A = this chain, B = another copy of it.
Amino acid sequence: MKVNKGVEWAAHACALLAVLPEGWTLSAEALAAYHDVPPAYMAKQMQALSSAGLVVSVRGAAGGYRLARPARDISLKDVFLAVEGAAPSFRCTEVRQNGPCGAAKAQCRKPCGIAASFYAAETAFRDSLAGVTIMDVVASASAASDLGKAAKIATWIQSNASRPGTER
């Protein structure tokens, strides 16, 4: 059981978008450069976030991505589901219906104990992620960094972000 790498990158991207000035955007390429990951693949994750409605994309020159709603209203669960998909991780193949002692299909309307337990575990997993917002992530990151780094990031944003509708 492994979570896609894209989840990590998408989460970090959201954290960076969260500290952008209002109305500014960052292109997928800039986000990839900031995190030093393959640009095309980062773009793919941003697409997933976009189609899930977590970020809005601005096309054309000086375009890019920005958060669709406040960082406190986006949880890691949202990011996880956007990138990873909503399909359950445990895929019950209904083996109880197989073999010489297989149960009748009519008796299998409820999931078996094993499947139910794994579904419950996954719900616990998602609930745990739902309790952490992008704002929380940003807060913990900034708490661990010093002023010098904050200034560095601000400078980088000034150089690489763009504000559609105006010249840089």
A residues at B contact (CB < 8 Å): 1-5, 7-9, 11-12, 15, 33-37, 76, 84, 89-93, 95-96, 98-103, 107, 110, 112-118, 120-122, 124-129, 132, 136-137, 139-141, 144-145, 149, 152-153, 156
Known: A101-B152, A145-B103. A15 touches B114 (CB 8 A): yes
**Chain B: CB-nearest residue to A14:** B114
Considering the complex, give the chain B residue whose CB is closest to the CB of A112: B141
Contact between chains at A121 and B128 (CB < 8 Å): yes
Are B33 and A90 touching (Cβ within 8 A)?
A: no
Residues of B within 8 A of A84 (CB): 1
Whether A101 contacts B153 by the Cβ 8 Å rule is yes
